[in-house]
Chain A
Amino acid sequence: MAGSVDNPKIDKPGLVRALGRFLSAGQIIHETEALRPYECDGLSAYRQLPLLVVLPENAEQVRQVMQCCHQRGVPVVARGAATGLSGGALPLADGVLLSLARLNSILDIDPLARTARVQPGVRNLAISEAVAEHGLYYAPDPSSQIACTIGGNVAENSGGVHCLKYGLTVHNVLELKVVTAEGELITLGGAALDSPGYDLLALMIGSEGMLGIVVEVLVKLLPTPQRAQVLLAAFDDVSKAANAVGDVIAAGIIPAGLEMMDGLAIRAAEDFVQAGYPVEAEAMLLCELDGANEEVSAQLARVRQQLLDSGAIEVRTAQDEAQRALFWKGRKSAFPAVGRISPDYYCMDGTVPRKRLAEVLLETSRLSQQFQLPVANVFHAGDGNLHPLILYDANQPGELKRAEDLGAAILELCVRVGGTITGEHGVGHEKIHQMCVQFSAVELEQFHALKRAFDPQSLLNPGKAIPQPKRCSEYKALGGDTLIPPSARTGGE
């Protein structure tokens, strides 16, 4: 971890005094015990107390914080609801943690233009709730949508179960107001559908707090579909279920969501919420269809037949809205459900081409045996976005390290089959080494040059997302074992 509390370059009392010129005492946290709740994000295996935490209440204060930190060369890590799963909001010992939680107002809703202007600390689900009366909603729906904020969604380019049809955050945001590393307020994008020059809006989305601090977001809203219906298909074989995913899409149907759970995840979810899942199945798919009433009816019949043709042993249609909600509840609570059957779990996030799903699931299962840690799979199958959950016990010596190594092996497998190490959770602190597997030294250098264009002093979330090429050489030298294709290994651990 970069720096330490004793970093002689940073005068903490001086910084607190400087911040105190425009923030109230309650907006600056610097006592060790009060800092404790901020030491990690959703990836709690990594913890670090920040130098201090600031809680600005408006964009102007964010600008002042950035100016102040810029003048003093103090690094800044932005934080929303800290539900992120890659350690992207992991604090720095010599850095300020900038919480955007108090910028939590919905500023404007324009039903005719189908937009909402919100502050970054507004929760994802709160947007859809606020605009529901107009027959509209905000489409990206990460599983953490009850808690996660739109600012964090922008930083990670979050997806969710419905992004197969309705896209990621980048497809659903029109404009950002951003405070730069120097403390300047800029606007990217706009209420029109494009803007002159480079697409800095797209570049900012998913940049993991490395290029600027988002202080306002104009989101696009979609009309609520007339009808949504969900099918549940059970399979006696994981590969059949994985191949059925491609079969549905090849039939020319883009479901609103197409999710897969394996046997371990099905049984954990069923124990937890009693969703009526087929506990004897090895895999199941949830396929949601939405649109006009007549259209959904026609597609339901086609998809049902396709799933049976692809080898489903049972296909059920939710009988009513309550059952549909229950089917989804099982899926959305699958992570905590798995959390109940294991002291700890580690959630991965690779994406692969859909056609490689079956093969990657089989290889993951083989790796699971090799590393002697169970893996549950519950994921966005339609997008090829895997979420292997590695079950481990942090209190057993060596298990966390083994879980990390297994995770690394799975991510490198994803890259090898033409995929990526992260589909929606971001690189953050967690996957920094695997970036070395996915990108060449010149590509990483281009990323760093891009970062310098926005943040020449490297004050925004330094050390995350993009590794130094030098560290990659070290990683490849030290961790060479995990870089060898598993099939080439002789024997297990």
Chain B
Amino acid sequence: MAIQSQNISQALQQALADAFEQAQPLQLRGSGSKAFLGSSAEGQPLDVTGHRGVINYEPRELVITVRAGTPLGELETLLAAEGQMLPFEPPHFGAAATLGGTVACGLSGPRRPYTGALRDFVLGTTLVNGRGQVLRFGGEVMKNVAGYDVSRLMVGAMGTLGLLLDVSMKVLPRPEQECTLVQELEPGQAIERANRLAATPLPLSGACYDGLRLYLRLSGSGQGVEAARRSLGGEALPADDPFWSRLREQELPFFDSALPLWRLSVPATTPPLDLPGKQLIDWGGAQRWLVSEVAPETILQAAARHGGHARRYRGGDAQSRASTLPAEPVMKLHRQLKQAFDPKAILNPGRLFPEL
């Protein structure tokens, strides 16, 4: 099995080296569970799902290193057996979702504002750059400032800077206890309350407003959660209620719509957005989901006005502009970085932004 994976990583390196030689664009493909995100890449498909398996997992070290094609579900099952978890609670968006795809898309779930984002838990990566060279950055240790932080740069780069071979992640113990409290509020009150509570030492691990009710999740030791629950009040959801996993996977009724779904990332204290359509507020106010037919420009402008950015997540006209772009001087750095990692633009061209 190990030999086979070794062969696969060599085959992947060779595929990129050949593509570099021939200036042949490649479309890196995991399970395809997040193919709907961003623009589509041009190029010859390269299936990376065969490169899977755990390289090293030592629960005592709170570190796991896995090949990028490893299914996320398998990884989470393995961690759960040791009482641990991926702290950023990533959405899967499909049963076959891989860790590599999750890292490339940089997706984090409801726990993000309180525990951290995917990029916060990346300790190291091995990647193949656009020249077909295998490079290792970071490692399995908690603190490492030798060289530039290339590992975190890969998070959310949509495979445009390198093909991930393996990723080392920091993991955390699962909380002993969790509890979700629900309270009916007006949208403005819900945002205010989520922020006010986040400024107090409560073991918050989720704050979502579904348009009617504010859901607050508490995670931690039995004593800590119990004390917080007493001080907060409100009605508790049954322990087996799947609210947070359905939120994470966009399976709540809110997401069941034929209209385009937009994600707006804004400062958490931004008041309710005055946009047509229906909204769901997650991340304690910092992530707003919008189901709306309104013109993309209107949404992008609203996000910018509040100091944030927006991206069409699902649906809509594939030809229309669908995301906030970095400001031009920052975009210039993007182009130069792309050139530094992938001089012949063979890696997922167009997947992140049309011009990259």
Contacts and interface: CB of A to CB of B under 8 A. Distances in A.
Question: A-B pairs with the 6 shortest C-beta distances?
Answer: A295-B224, A294-B223, A453-B336, A423-B143, A202-B152, A449-B340
Contact of B265 (A194, A202, A383): A194
24 contacts: A112-B269, A157-B149, A164-B142, A171-B116, A186-B330, A190-B308, A195-B326, A198-B157, A202-B155, A206-B149, A211-B148, A249-B62, A250-B59, A294-B226, A384-B141, A420-B143, A423-B142, A442-B134, A446-B135, A450-B148, A450-B150, A450-B337, A453-B340, A454-B336
Nearest to A186: B329
Given A171-B116, A187-B330, A422 B148 contact: no
B141 A352 contact: yes
Nearest to A439: B147
Contact of B156 (A186, A187, A198, A442): A198
Contacts of A200: 153, 330, 333
Given A291-B203, A292-B223, A198 B161 contact: yes
Interface in A203-257: 203, 205-207, 210-211, 223-226, 246, 249-250, 252-254
B129 interface: yes
B145 A422 contact: yes
A443 B226 CA distance: 50
Contacts of B180: none
B139 A418 contact: yes
A321 interface: no
- Of B117, B144, B172, most buried by chain A (CB within 10 Å of CB) is B144
Interface in A257-280: none
Interface in A93-116: 110-114
A452 B116 contact: no
A306 interface: no
B61 interface: yes
Nearest to A225: B201
Contacts of A40: none
A464 to B, nearest CB: 12
A252 B203 contact: no
A62 interface: no
A332 B153 CA distance: 33
Given A112-B195, A298-B223, A420 B141 contact: yes
B92 interface: no
Interface in A391-446: 418-427, 431, 435, 438-440, 442-443, 446
Contacts of B348: none
A84 to B, nearest CB: 11
Interface in A121-177: 134-136, 156-157, 159, 163-164, 167-168, 170-171
- Of A113, A194, A254, A383, most buried by chain B (CB within 10 Å of CB) is A194
A186 B152 contact: no
Contacts of A439: 146-147
B309 A421 contact: no
B244 interface: no
B44 interface: no
B201 A291 contact: yes
Contacts of B201: 135, 223-226, 291-292
A443 B136 contact: yes
B203 to A, nearest CB: 7
A28 B324 CA distance: 41
Given A167-B116, A196-B326, A446-B340, A136 B199 contact: yes
Contact of B333 (A250, A446, A454): A454
A420 B146 contact: yes
Nearest to A253: B173
A424 B329 contact: no
Q: For chain A, give the interface size range.
A: 35 or more
B160 to A, nearest CB: 8
A369 interface: no
B120 A351 contact: no
B263 to A, nearest CB: 10
Nearest to B230: A294
Contacts of B83: 252
Contact of A354 (B60, B200, B327): B60
Nearest to B283: A193
Given A354-B61, A454-B333, A449 B341 contact: yes
B199 A111 contact: yes
- Of B150, B157, B323, B333, most buried by chain A (CB within 10 Å of CB) is B333
Contacts of A435: 146-147
Contacts of A419: 139, 141
Contact of B139 (A164, A192, A249, A420): A420
A291 B224 contact: yes
Contact of A192 (B196, B224, B309, B325): B309
Nearest to A456: B336
A167 B341 CA distance: 28
A466 interface: yes
Contacts of B59: 250
Interface in B308-334: 308-309, 311, 323-327, 329-331, 333-334
A383 B337 contact: no
A383 to B, nearest CB: 4
B320 to A, nearest CB: 16
Contacts of A422: 144-146
A420 B155 CA distance: 21
Nearest to A175: B307
B150 A446 contact: yes
Contacts of A253: 173
B159 to A, nearest CB: 12
Given A197-B156, A454-B336, 18 more contacts: A114-B195, A114-B199, A187-B330, A190-B308, A192-B266, A192-B267, A193-B286, A196-B323, A199-B153, A254-B172, A254-B173, A292-B202, A292-B228, A295-B221, A355-B58, A420-B141, A424-B145, A453-B339
A141 to B, nearest CB: 14
A299 interface: yes
A457 to B, nearest CB: 13
B79 interface: no
Nearest to B198: A114
Nearest to B268: A113
Given A292-B227, A295-B224, A197 B286 contact: no
B119 interface: yes
A205 B149 contact: yes
B254 interface: no
Contacts of B301: none
Contacts of A203: 148-150, 152-153
B210 interface: no
A223 to B, nearest CB: 4
B147 A447 contact: yes
A191 interface: yes
B217 interface: no
B223 A353 contact: no
- Of B136, B146, B198, most buried by chain A (CB within 10 Å of CB) is B146
Contacts of B203: 291-292, 295
A125 B172 CA distance: 28
Contacts of A450: 148, 150, 337, 340-341
A446 B308 contact: no
Nearest to B307: A191
B340 to A, nearest CB: 4
Interface in B179-208: 192, 195-196, 198-203
A110 B352 contact: no
A310 interface: no
